[in-house]
């Protein structure tokens, strides 16, 4: 009685050549990188949201910008909103103390503050979006890498069947079915990457929109004649209803 030949991943790995194994290794590396980014960025997003909520609650409840500056001077900014606030206050102080006697502080206070805040927002945007390029690349290329592995496996399976001269269905279906494992592996790598990329892009878009709205409120506080070095002249912070609704 002829022994039954088992088909599956183990059989495919045993019969594939170096190129097929290299494709499998590439998909494995992509999968590890994808899940590493998913886990780390998800945890980072959760921590950042919690810290942002705490800072915004403190900011809108603070009696003055001087109190905010003192708090940030004692506790280093650990999320985008406090980071933007700290650098905006430093920029206002710097322009107030040094004026426009150098090229990097040229212009009035509003122009200098706008440049400083825009630079911080750009830096935070780059930091928040770090790793998304990898997810997008994996999501777009993994299916094609898996498809290439399938085509390569089918080609070698048909070559071997032709050389053996046994073209019956049971001899063809096994190797061809095993080759389709590569396509399934490519899809298994790509689908989580695409879903995670879309989720992170949406989350980042909301955060950056809130950060931009907060920057407008902060800019208005710093350009209404208040001086963060003078506690007596600092305008008390009053929460704009629309701003609080959009930021919290």
Mean pLDDT of 201-205: 91
Per the model's pLDDT, the better-predicted residue between 215 and 77 turns out to be 215
Mean pLDDT of 201-220: 87
Output the pLDDT for position 62. 81
Flag whether pLDDT at 235 surpasses 50. no
Output the pLDDT for position 239. 44
Q: What angle do CA 178, 180, 185 make, to 5 degrees?
A: 105
Q: What is the pLDDT of residues 135-146, one digit of tens each?
A: 999 999 999 998
Output the pLDDT for position 1. 38
| DSSP codes joined into one string, 188-247 | HHHHHHHHHHHHHHHHHHHHHHHHHHHHHHHHHHHTSS--TT-TTTPPPP---HHHHHHH
pTM as predicted? 0.73
Flag whether pLDDT at 207 surpasses 80. yes
Kindly give the interhelix angle for 80-98 and 18-61, rounded to the nearest 10 degrees: 60
Mean pLDDT of 43-62: 88
Q: What is the pLDDT of residues 102-126, one digit of tens each?
A: 544 445 667 778 888 888 888 888 8
* DSSP run (H or E) holding 96: helix 80-98
Output the pLDDT for position 2. 42
Query: For residue 108, what are the contacts with CB-CB under 8 A and spacing of at least 6?
Result: 100
Flag whether pLDDT at 172 surpasses 70. no
């Amino acid at each position: 009685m002829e022994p039954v030949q088992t088909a599956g991943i183990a059989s495919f790995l045993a019969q594939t050549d170096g190129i097929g194994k290299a494709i499998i290794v590439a998909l494995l590396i992509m999968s590890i990188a994808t899940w590493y980014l998913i886990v780390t960025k998800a945890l980072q997003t959760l921590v950042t949201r919690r810290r942002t909520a705490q800072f915004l609650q403190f900011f809108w409840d603070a009696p003055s910008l001087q109190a905010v500056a003192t708090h940030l001077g004692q506790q280093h900014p650990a999320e985008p909103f406090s980071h933007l606030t700290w650098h905006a206050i430093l920029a206002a102080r710097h322009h107030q103390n040094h004026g426009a006697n150098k090229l990097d502080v040229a212009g009035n206070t509003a122009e200098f503050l706008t440049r400083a805040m825009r630079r911080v927002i750009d830096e935070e945007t780059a930091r928040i979006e770090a790793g998304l390029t990898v997810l997008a690349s994996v999501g777009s290329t993994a299916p094609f890498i898996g498809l290439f592995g399938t085509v390569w496996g089918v080609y070698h399976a048909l070559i071997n069947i032709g050389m053996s001269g046994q073209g019956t269905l049971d001899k063809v279906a096994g190797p061809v079915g095993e080759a389709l494992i590569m396509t399934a592996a490519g899809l298994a790598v790509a689908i989580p990457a695409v879903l995670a990329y879309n989720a992170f892009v949406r989350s980042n878009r909301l955060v950056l929109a809130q950060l931009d709205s907060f920057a407008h409120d902060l800019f208005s506080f710093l350009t209404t004649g208040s001086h963060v070095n003078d506690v007596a002249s600092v305008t008390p912070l009053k929460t704009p209803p629309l701003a609080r609704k959009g930021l919290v």
